[in-house]
Amino acid sequence: MPRKSRRTLSERAESIFRFIDAQPEPFPKSEFQRIGLNPTTAEKWIHLIEYIQSQPRIKVTKMGSSTFIERLENKYLSMLRKRVLDSSLSLKEREATMNDYVSALITLERTEMGRIKK
C-alpha cells in the first residue's frame, strides 16, 4: 500500500492560514482537527505563529541563485507596530503611535539611504 505523502511546512502553514481566514469569528483551537492538526500540534503551530508575528519584519530578495534577507524594522519600530495593533489602547493613543511609527520608519529609511550613498 503506498504511503500518503506528508505535507511540507509551507503547505501546512498555508492550510492553517486558509482555515483561520475562513472562520467568521473566534474559534476553539480544537477546530484545527478539521484540517488534520491534533491539539498538541495545533498548540505548537499557534505558538510559532505568535512568536513570528511579534518579531521585526524582514524582506527576502532573490537575485539569481542568492537569497538576501534584510531587516525592515528595528526593535523600536517593532514595538510601535505592536502598540498600533493593541486594541486595549484608545484610538487616540494608537493614532499617535502610528504617526510615531511612520516618522521612525522614514528616519530609518533616510539613514539607510545616506549610508548606501557613501
How far is the CA of 110 from the CAs of 75, 90, 100, in angstroms? 17, 30, 15
Cell of 98: 502610528
Q: Where are the alpha helices (DSSP H) in 1-118?
A: 9-22, 39-53, 75-84, 91-117
Model confidence at 22, in pLDDT bands (50, 70, 90)?
very high
Which pLDDT score, from 0 to 100, does residue 118 have? 60
pLDDT at 30 over 80: yes
- The answer to whether 83 touches 96, Cβ cutoff 8 Å, is no
For residues 28-47, give the mean pLDDT. 94
Half-sphere exposure of 109 (CA within 13 A, CB side): 7
Half-sphere exposure of 16 (CA within 13 A, CB side): 20
Which pLDDT score, from 0 to 100, does residue 105 have? 87
pLDDT at 5 over 80: no
Q: In 10 A of CB 37, how many CB atoms? A: 21
Tens-place pLDDT, residues 51-102: 998 888 899 999 999 999 988 888 888 889 889 999 999 999 999 999 999 9
DSSP 61: E
